[in-house]
A and B are shown apart, each in its own frame.
Chain A
Amino acid sequence: GAVVSQHPSRVICKSGTSVKIECRSLDFQATTMFWYRQFPKQSLMLMATSNEGSKATYEQGVEKDKFLINHASLTLSTLTVTSAHPEDSSFYICSARVPAGGRDTQYFGPGTRLTVL
């Protein structure tokens, strides 16, 4: 299957700082990428859809000014958590869509664990 990477895998930061997470599709081009968040013992929650060359679409309740998404190329999307606070501590996971005419599939990155002190 297609490979999606994330960097960093783990980050610890102080409250009030900003953190950038990178998501790359390694062996395919992805016009659409997705960002999810997962709290302990919960399922993945879709945060936003990232389209190459255009603004991201955010899910209801997700602050677009706090979670900045950039999808400047067909292989890279970034999520920046601005002015992070302890409640933003979570497991952030990206995915990339491989189009296949209705049978398209999403492949997920390994996730980034963010801890805000």
Chain B
Amino acid sequence: DAKTTQPPSMDCAEGRAANLPCNHSTISGNEYVYWYRQIHSQGPQYIIHGLKNNETNEMASLIITEDRKSSTLILPHATLRDTAVYYCIVRGGDMRFGAGTRLTVKP
């Protein structure tokens, strides 16, 4: 599986969009980009995934660059409950977690 790089932490104001970047420059053609988040002391929650097209669901949007070497998870209107560690995973097999980005949504 390709390695991913995420900033260790980010802050976002409540009600504003949270844009979480992820670099995956070694991604191969058949690997999907997955995003999960983990709120303290809970199991990871699936958010969204995609291959090369942008994706949107009720939780978030995923923007994947044309060369697929990076992506951005967008939470359009962040709330305090979105405070969590967000993991970007490029997967061709098992789901393996890096350090993720700790997003703190502030009032």
In residues 39-88 of chain B, which contact A (Cβ within 8 Å)?
Answer: 41-46, 49, 51, 87
* Contact (Cβ within 8 A) A93 B49: no
Q: How many A-B residue pairs have CB under 8 A?
A: 49
* Contact (Cβ within 8 A) B43 A111: yes
Q: A4 vs B38: C-alpha distance in the bound complex, in angstroms?
A: 15
* Contact (Cβ within 8 A) B46 A107: yes
Contact status of A108 and B99, CB under 8 A, knowing A34-B94, A46-B94, A103-B49? no
* Contact (Cβ within 8 A) B32 A108: no
* Contact (Cβ within 8 A) B46 A43: no
- Residue among B44, B51, B87 having the largest count of chain A Cβ atoms under 10 Å: B44
Residues of A within 8 A of B43 (CB): 4, 6, 93, 95, 108-111
* Contact (Cβ within 8 A) A110 B46: no
CB 8 Å contact bits of A98-117 with B (1 = contact, 0 = none): 00001101111111010000
* Residue A91 interfacial (CB < 8 Å): yes
Question: Assuming A93-B44, A102-B30, A107-B46, what are 18 further A-B pairs, CB within 8 angstroms?
Answer: A4-B43, A36-B97, A43-B97, A43-B99, A44-B97, A45-B97, A46-B97, A91-B41, A95-B43, A95-B44, A103-B32, A105-B34, A105-B46, A105-B49, A106-B95, A108-B36, A108-B44, A108-B46
* Residue A61 interfacial (CB < 8 Å): no
Q: A113 vs B43: C-alpha distance in the bound complex, in angstroms?
A: 11
5 closest Cβ pairs, A-B complex: A108-B43, A44-B97, A108-B44, A43-B97, A111-B43
* Contact (Cβ within 8 A) A111 B46: no
Q: Which residue of chain A is the closest to B32 with respect to CB atoms?
A: A103
Contact status of A43 and B98, CB under 8 A, knowing A105-B49, A108-B44? yes
Closest chain A CB from B85 CB (angstroms): 8
Residues of B within 8 A of A36 (CB): 97
Q: A110 vs B39: C-alpha distance in the bound complex, in angstroms?
A: 10
CB 8 Å contact bits of A26-57 with B (1 = contact, 0 = none): 00000000101000000111100100000000
